[in-house]
Amino acid sequence: MLIDELSDVLARPKFRRYLSVEEAHEFVDAIRELVVIVDDPPERDDPITGDPDDDFLVLLAEAAGAGILVSGETRTSPR
């Protein structure tokens, strides 16, 4: 889901000043070749963060065994 979201976001017109559609596709293709793909984690009913849209990223980081998750969010929520 995360790579698909990256592809969708980079296809938005607001990014044309930074890269062309072709460059965006090439970037996403390069990401696909370089990363270790982890299955999307199952959804949970109980919230993890203050933003339900961010819960997926926390669950994905845990499923991947990531030691660190970098975010632009300024809110924090203890686990």
pLDDT tens across 27-62, in order? 999 999 999 899 999 888 888 888 887 898 999 999
pLDDT at 73: 62
Q: Cα separation of 40 and 15, whole Å?
A: 26
pLDDT at 11: 93
Average confidence score pLDDT of the chain: 88
CA dihedral 57→27→37→79, nearest 10 degrees, is -20
Structure tokens at 49: 């963060």
Q: Cα separation of 68 and 26, whole Å?
A: 27
pLDDT at 77: 53
Task: Decide if pLDDT at 3 tops 60.
Answer: yes
